[in-house]
């Protein structure tokens, strides 16, 4: 059994799954942080209400961002070619995300340092931008990945990216960005109804009901775009050697508008995942209306998981397709690190991941309970 788990073929698939788990973990945890920040101008009208909203995520946002760091580290170590292409090709977009993510912690730390309304309003706007921009850009990145990215490799495997920032901001990618934004706004609203009291929770419930329906409609519309072949599609046509060398140039890939549906046609049970991607936001909308706070947050999490999982299942075994030279696309079986690297990383993950999950669960247990204006006022300057 251990020998099977540690062979090259299995390790590659395991690390593809783990990459998905890390990205989903980031979206499910830091996603509601970004959702709350995006909702701040709409659910909180007074300084006290804004402090309530911010304090629902203030104690946990730093820990939630660990998933983002782990995801980036996993790409760097397990899929170095993917890291090289995505982080260099999407450099300007990543730079915008980095600026936004820098604004968020600064806003958290400095917002309540002074009682001046203008000072606090400025940091509230920074918190909004620092939350909404990443939520949008991450979806744009997924949209570009589905369509294919213009890159190729030289004979010595040096990656060459041929696109630009404005090429990334194309209509179909922006559509995917809106799906991401609506999904995380819904997730943030579900968190606020679960954690906040008073008018903040009431307004979040109203906004969340609408954004959940929008999420379901946009995601279903994205499925129609895939069905029509408008979001691209790439298929490996040469024999796949799962334990072969990490060389993207030794396979054949063709652009095929229906390729992103091939895995679902081959394995019909997989249709459950995108179906839940539509149904879960609608269940969240019903939960908002029925004021079932816990179930609403669970449904929102389910929506996040299944929407992201749908993309991974549709693209497998492709990691990053090349629109300019499909044969140079990166795949699970030819873009990984060495067997020894994947094996050692898996051993470390088996040891440390349970510790991270246990600590995270303990933190949320300690911080259990709702946040209201009275509790924020009682905390005084120690609160955000």
pLDDT digits (tens, 9 = 90+) for 267-299: 999 999 999 999 999 999 999 999 999 999 999
| Banded pLDDT at 313 (limits 50, 70, 90) | very high
Determine contact, residues 204/371, Cβ cutoff 8 Å. Answer: no
pLDDT for position 384: 65
Q: Give the integer Cα–Cα distance in Å for 26 and 93.
A: 18
pLDDT for position 380: 62
Q: What is the mean pLDDT of the chain?
A: 89
pLDDT for position 243: 87
What's the pLDDT tens digit per position in 330-383?
999 999 999 999 999 999 999 988 888 888 888 888 878 787 777 676 666 555
What's the pLDDT tens digit per position in 233-257?
899 999 998 888 899 998 999 988 8
* pLDDT above 90: residue 192: yes
pLDDT for position 276: 96
* pLDDT above 70: residue 222: yes
Q: Give the integer Cα–Cα distance in Å for 67 and 23.
A: 7
Q: Give the integer Cα–Cα distance in Å for 259 and 264.
A: 10
Question: What is the rounded average pLDDT of the residues 44-61?
Answer: 87
| Banded pLDDT at 78 (limits 50, 70, 90) | very high
pLDDT for position 2: 59
Domain boundaries in the chain? Answer: 2-382
Determine contact, residues 226/260, Cβ cutoff 8 Å. Answer: yes
Percent of residues, the chain, with pLDDT higher than 70: 96
Q: What is the pTM of this model?
A: 0.92
DSSP conformational letter for 196: B
* pLDDT above 80: residue 5: no
Which of 42-56, 107-121, 298-312 is the least confident region? 107-121
**Residue that has been written with the tokens 């060495």 in this structure:** 338
Question: What is the rounded average pLDDT of the residues 108-130?
Answer: 87
Determine contact, residues 373/48, Cβ cutoff 8 Å. Answer: yes
| Banded pLDDT at 58 (limits 50, 70, 90) | confident
pLDDT for position 133: 93
pLDDT for position 309: 96
Cβ-proximal residues to 26 (8 Å cutoff; 6+ apart), any chain: 64, 65, 67, 68, 70, 71
Exposed/middle/buried for residue 298 (C-beta within 10 Å: 0-12, 13-18, 19+): middle
pLDDT for position 383: 59
pLDDT for position 4: 57
| Banded pLDDT at 88 (limits 50, 70, 90) | confident
pLDDT for position 1: 56
Cβ-proximal residues to 319 (8 Å cutoff; 6+ apart), any chain: 16, 79, 82, 329, 330, 331, 332, 335
pLDDT for position 117: 85
pLDDT for position 381: 57
Q: What is the 3-state secondary structure (H, E, C) of 166-189?
A: HHHCCHHHHHHHHHHHHHHHHHHH
* Structure token digits, residue 375: 């509790």
pLDDT for position 320: 93
Residue length of the chain: 384
Determine contact, residues 129/40, Cβ cutoff 8 Å. Answer: no
């Amino acid at each position: 059994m251990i020998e099977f788990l540690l062979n090259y073929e299995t390790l590659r698939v395991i690390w593809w799954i783990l990459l998905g788990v890390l990205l989903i973990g980031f979206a499910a945890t830091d996603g509601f942080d970004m959702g709350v920040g995006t909702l701040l101008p709409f659910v909180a009208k007074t300084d006290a209400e804004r402090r309530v909203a911010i304090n629902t995520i203030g104690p946990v946002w730093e820990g939630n961002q660990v998933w983002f760091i782990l995801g980036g580290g996993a790409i760097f170590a397990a899929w170095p070619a993917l890291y090289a292409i995505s982080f260099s090709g999407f450099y300007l977009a990543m730079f915008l995300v980095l600026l936004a993510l820098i604004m968020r912690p600064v806003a958290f730390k400095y917002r309540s340092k002074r009682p001046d309304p203008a000072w606090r309003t400025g940091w509230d706007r920074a918190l909004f931008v620092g939350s909404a921009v990443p939520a949008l850009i991450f979806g744009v990145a997924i949209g570009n990945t589905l369509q294919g990215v213009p890159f190729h490799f030289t004979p010595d495997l040096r990656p060459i990216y041929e696109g630009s920032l404005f090429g990334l901001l194309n209509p179909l990618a922006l559509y995917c960005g809106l799906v991401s934004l609506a999904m995380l706004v819904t997730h943030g609203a579900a968190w606020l109804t679960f954690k906040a009291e008073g008018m903040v929770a009431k307004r979040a419930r109203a906004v969340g009901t609408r954004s959940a329906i929008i999420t379901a409609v946009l995601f279903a519309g994205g499925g129609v775009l895939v069905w029509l072949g408008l979001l691209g599609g790439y298929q490996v046509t040469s024999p796949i050697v799962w334990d072969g060398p990490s060389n993207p140039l030794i396979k054949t890939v063709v652009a095929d508008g229906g390729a992103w549906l091939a895995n679902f046609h081959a394995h019909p049970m997989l249709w459950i995942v995108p179906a839940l991607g539509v149904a879960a936001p609608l269940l969240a909308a019903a939960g908002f209306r029925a004021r079932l706070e816990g179930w609403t947050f669970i449904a929102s999490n389910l929506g996040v998981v299944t929407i992201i999982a749908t993309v991974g299942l549709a693209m497998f075994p492709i990691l990053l397709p090349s629109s300019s030279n499909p044969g140079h696309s990166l795949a699970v079986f030819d873009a990984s690190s060495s067997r020894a690297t994947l094996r050692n990383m898996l051993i470390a993950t088996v040891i440390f991941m349970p510790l991270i999950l246990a600590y995270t669960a303990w933190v949320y247990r300690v911080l259990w309970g709702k946040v209201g204006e009275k509790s924020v006022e009682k905390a005084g300057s120690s609160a955000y």
